[in-house]
Structure 1
Amino acid sequence: MKQTVLTAFFFLFVLGVKAQKQSISSDTISVYFDELNTASKKNIGLWNKDLYGPMMLIDPKTREFFANEPDSEGILKRNGTIYSGVLPAAVNIANTAINWGGKRWAMIMLPLSQNKENRINLLAHESFHSIQPSLGFTLNNAENSHLDQKEGRIYLRLELEALKQAVRSSSEKEYTHHLTNALTFRKYRNRLYKGSENTENLLELNEGIAEFTGLIVSGRNKDQTRLYLLNGIDGFMKNPTFVRSFAYYTTPVYGYLLYLKDPDWNKKINAKTDLTGYFIKAFDVRIQTDLQKAVEKLSDNYNGTSTIKEETEREEQTKKRIAEYKMKFIQQPHFEIKFEKMNVSFDPRNIVPVEDHGTVYPNIRITDLWGILTIENGALMSPNWDKISISNPVSTENKKVSGDGWILELTDGYTIAKDEGSGNYKLLKN
């Protein structure tokens, strides 16, 4: 009975598609799918597996989406070679891979880039996530809070500056020199923060390898690839935080330069590979034993003085922001919501680690058995992802509860209550 009701619910959403004005033509969507299909077939040897599989391109405003094949439950409506529907509100929208309608899909948000290679890059990246489990790679989005700290940011930025010089190099000897320095900055950073080599590696094996895949499948020539990598790093440097997005810009550089030497290198790694160690060996570089002395000597070759100055100033601003977040979500009365069966989507570019209390996500959407929580002005996620803290509610209208920059849409069987002693709110299950 439960499954029947759920299927009917999805079907009602699909029926509503006809009445909506389509912002993009089916012909254009077909072109997007065909571009990836062609590129995937051309590069099938990259993983010895076809990247082209179930895919949905979705308008995040209307939730209308277009798929390249039918779902397994008969939900989608066919229009020529394209299938369409409207994604239920309970499903979060993001560039990701999801299980829905009886299949595993690559989900990509519209609009796509007007640049063909950039489009294929993104579609191939998310398609990799779809086949990732079948290749033996674990889906993992480890946080790297140390990359929001002064020293962590400094030595990541220096590594990236060295990688830029490696990309610009005209010979193997020259790029090996810069790669050696990049990996030296990395090894020193990992020495400063215990366990950071593991958390960084987990994200690189997930997002880094996915972005490397997109880069190779995109079909750019060498000059276009170099420009794409350089522009990507420069853009990344402007992000408010690095903790969950750095791997999009490190692994592709190492991976691409290694691909020029060994096009099969990626098929020699697995979910347990230490990528840093692998790259050191593959490029045959020698890292100095005295890392501190080495980085002090090298840093000025990669804008070290200005980087240290900028990060020192940023650290003072970050301390003030963290103090404000601690007051808002920990010290003063707040609303704490525990998860039961949580699904989440968020922007990884602007999150803020708050010491050992967790991480503030300025923009995040959470679905759970208790309903849908949409946040646009910050929330504190606990370190082990079992609860989230937001400001206290200011209004309640039926099942809709709202506060400073957030809205909670409760499902039946749930309500909120205030603890008069602490002033905190909590979620209750009837």
Structure 2
Amino acid sequence: MSVRMIGCRHPSRAGRVLGILAALALAGPATAAPDPAASREVIAQAQALCDRDGGALWGVSLCGPLMIVDPADRAVVANQADAKGALVARDGAYVGTLPADAMLANTAMDWSGTRWTQLLWPLPTEPALLRVMLLHEMFHREQPALGLARDEAGNRHLDSFDGRYLLQMEWRALAHALMEDGPDARRARLADAFAFRQARRARFPGAAAEEAALEINEGLAEYTGVRLGLAAPEQRRAYAIYALARFVDAPSFVRSFGYASGPAYGLLLDQADPQWRGKLGADADLGRLLAGAVGIDAAVPADLDARAQRYDPEDRVRQAEQTRERERQARLAAWRSQLVDGPVLVLPLARSRFQFNPQTLAALDGVGTVYPTLRLADDWGELVVDGGAALVHADRKHATVALPRGGDGRRGDGWTLALEPGWSLVPGERDGDLTVEAGQAQRTAPTTK
């Protein structure tokens, strides 16, 4: 990772921030396979972090059920028993094994009658990264009860040239705002950030609501991790700048951008309006809250190109995005040929559970979202995509993968399908397509997982 301090007028602060950023960027590899003692240390650290907050940030304690899972064998080390007694007490923790139908992810999950924070090994070894991750995921467990969980959809515009370029200009302006000491200089940087933000949303109908939803869901979680995981304000600012730089290299911004913008907007709101967290309603927008707090009209300015030159003076970002856009259009044509026009396996989505890498998602214009890596489970069984591509249609009622010529419908280029007993492959609606169908027993008594 590299960070460019463009036109920074605070060399002493820049030096301190760059030192912190270097430590984060050069963090060692993630931990190896877990052992109970190491898991208990992580659990103790999580408890200490939420005890230190004492519920002050959000009005509720983030302490609660936490499990650490080894994906290799699904072994669990937890901080408490589950409601149904699946885990057993051993050596100061609770241990057991997650069943095969339980999804594996860093997330909040309901299992065995208990709502958990689930963490997967390997975990980061760099202390700051680990603390932020712990509190991010612990916040997710409490998020619905706080009324801060949103239905996410779309953001496919963030795979386009205009969407990506204007988002990166917004991020660069936010990074400079975090570097500024004086309120006037900070306000000028924020005016630029809002200009890029509003210009992007003006070009894509519906973008404002879609972006706001992800910034609330993932942005607030990442802000919480930064705010409570790092004690010093300078560390928090450095981490927020690190996040804005790190996610530039993500393969896609569609599902990941909130991790970058959330800490920046949250910390800047802390400066501008310490009471902002109490103003988060059902339609809250972090950028709109900050613009109101600093008194900036968020209308699209006439001098947008001149503002962009402040943050991309040599047009390097623009040229890189133009190259990426040409490559994206070629990928879109190939995906459309394989996943829409060609023979496909159609999988209905009813009670689906998804596990995926949010940084790899890509929008297939007007159709849905492509998942290059995916574990998808439903009543019919499990689809695993690794190195191939699956298309989840925009209505989220079905997914498709490309059928190879002469295949059996259970495997293809980069994907495999495992069917539950009683389910079978049958011809689809189009010639050459396949879909899945349950036998009479499954239709009258669906499997419960």
Q: Which runs of 4+ in 1 moved over 3 A?
A: 260-264, 393-396, 418-421
- What's the counterpart of residue 250 of structure 1? 261
Aligned-partner residue type, residue 192 of structure 2: N
Alpha-carbon displacement from aligned partner over 1:98-121 (angstroms, at most 9, x marks no partner): 111101111111121112232121
Aligned-partner residue type, residue 142 of structure 2: I
Deviates most, 263-272 or 157-166: 263-272
C-alpha displacement at 1:292, in angstroms? Answer: 5.1
C-alpha displacement at 1:325, in angstroms? Answer: 0.2
CA distance in 2, matches of 1:224, 1:338: 46
Alpha-carbon displacement from aligned partner over 1:176-205 (angstroms, at most 9, x marks no partner): 211111011101110011110010011111
CA distance in 2, matches of 1:414, 1:127: 37
Shift of the 419–358 alpha-carbon distance from structure 1 to 2, 3 Å rule, reads closer
CA distance in 2, matches of 1:190, 1:111: 37
- What's the counterpart of residue 5 of structure 1? none
C-alpha displacement at 1:140, in angstroms? Answer: 2.9
CA distance in 1, matches of 2:259, 2:42: 23
Alpha-carbon displacement from aligned partner over 1:90-141 (angstroms, at most 9, x marks no partner): 1111111111110111111112111223212111111111111111122433
Alpha-carbon displacement from aligned partner over 1:200-259 (angstroms, at most 9, x marks no partner): 011111111111111111024233222222222222001111011111111210111221
Shift of the 224–408 alpha-carbon distance from structure 1 to 2, 3 Å rule, reads same
- Residue 273 of structure 1 aligns to a residue in which SS? coil
Contact 1:69 1:82 (C-alpha < 8 Å) held by counterparts? yes
- What's the counterpart of residue 61 of structure 1? 72
2:116 matched to 1:121? no
Which of residues 357, 364, 377 is equivalent to 2:367?
357
CA distance in 2, matches of 1:419, 1:142: 27
> How many equivalent pairs are there?
404
Shift of the 156–421 alpha-carbon distance from structure 1 to 2, 3 Å rule, reads closer
- Residue 415 of structure 1 aligns to a residue in which SS? strand
CA RMSD of aligned residues (A): 1.8
Aligned-partner residue type, residue 402 of structure 1: R
Q: Structure 1: any 5+ residue segments left out of the alignment?
A: 1-21
Aligned-partner residue type, residue 88 of structure 1: P
CA distance in 2, matches of 1:420, 1:285: 54
2:428 matched to 1:379? no
2:58 matched to 1:37? no
Aligned-partner residue type, residue 227 of structure 1: A
Shift of the 65–357 alpha-carbon distance from structure 1 to 2, 3 Å rule, reads same
Deviates most, 196-205 or 110-119: 110-119
Which of residues 106, 125, 130 is equivalent to 1:95?
106
- Residue 66 of structure 1 aligns to a residue in which SS? strand
Contact 1:144 1:243 (C-alpha < 8 Å) held by counterparts? yes
C-alpha displacement at 1:152, in angstroms? Answer: 0.7
- What's the counterpart of residue 438 of structure 2? 429
Alpha-carbon displacement from aligned partner over 1:33-65 (angstroms, at most 9, x marks no partner): 121212112222001111011111112222222
Contact 1:97 1:106 (C-alpha < 8 Å) held by counterparts? yes
CA distance in 2, matches of 1:72, 1:420: 45
- What's the counterpart of residue 118 of structure 2? 107
Contact 1:91 1:367 (C-alpha < 8 Å) held by counterparts? no
Which of residues 155, 167, 175 is equivalent to 1:144?
155
Contact 1:93 1:109 (C-alpha < 8 Å) held by counterparts? yes
Aligned pairs for 1:309-320 within 5 A = 309-320=319-330
Aligned-partner residue type, residue 323 of structure 1: A
2:293 matched to 1:286? no
Aligned-partner residue type, residue 340 of structure 2: I
- Residue 136 of structure 1 aligns to a residue in which SS? coil
- What's the counterpart of residue 267 of structure 1? 278
CA distance in 2, matches of 1:62, 1:234: 35
2:310 matched to 1:301? yes
Which of residues 76, 79, 91 is equivalent to 2:90?
79
Query: Identity of aligned pairs, percent?
Result: 30
2:343 matched to 1:328? no
C-alpha displacement at 1:421, in angstroms? Answer: 6.5
Shift of the 419–166 alpha-carbon distance from structure 1 to 2, 3 Å rule, reads closer
- What's the counterpart of residue 415 of structure 1? 424
CA distance in 2, matches of 1:353, 1:204: 18
2:201 matched to 1:190? yes
- What's the counterpart of residue 144 of structure 2? 133
Shift of the 421–386 alpha-carbon distance from structure 1 to 2, 3 Å rule, reads closer
Contact 2:272 2:294 (C-alpha < 8 Å) held by counterparts? no
Alpha-carbon displacement from aligned partner over 1:10-51 (angstroms, at most 9, x marks no partner): xxxxxxxxxxxx932323222211212121122220011110
C-alpha displacement at 1:419, in angstroms? Answer: 5.2
CA distance in 1, matches of 2:250, 2:38: 31
- What's the counterpart of residue 49 of structure 1? 60
Aligned-partner residue type, residue 347 of structure 1: N
Shift of the 187–33 alpha-carbon distance from structure 1 to 2, 3 Å rule, reads same
Shift of the 421–303 alpha-carbon distance from structure 1 to 2, 3 Å rule, reads closer
TM-score between the two structures when normalised by the length of structure 1: 0.90
2:410 matched to 1:401? yes
TM-score between the two structures when normalised by the length of structure 2: 0.86
CA distance in 1, matches of 2:113, 2:179: 46
Deviates most, 172-181 or 322-331: 172-181
C-alpha displacement at 1:417, in angstroms? Answer: 2.3
Shift of the 309–102 alpha-carbon distance from structure 1 to 2, 3 Å rule, reads same
Contact 2:33 2:121 (C-alpha < 8 Å) held by counterparts? no
C-alpha displacement at 1:420, in angstroms? Answer: 10
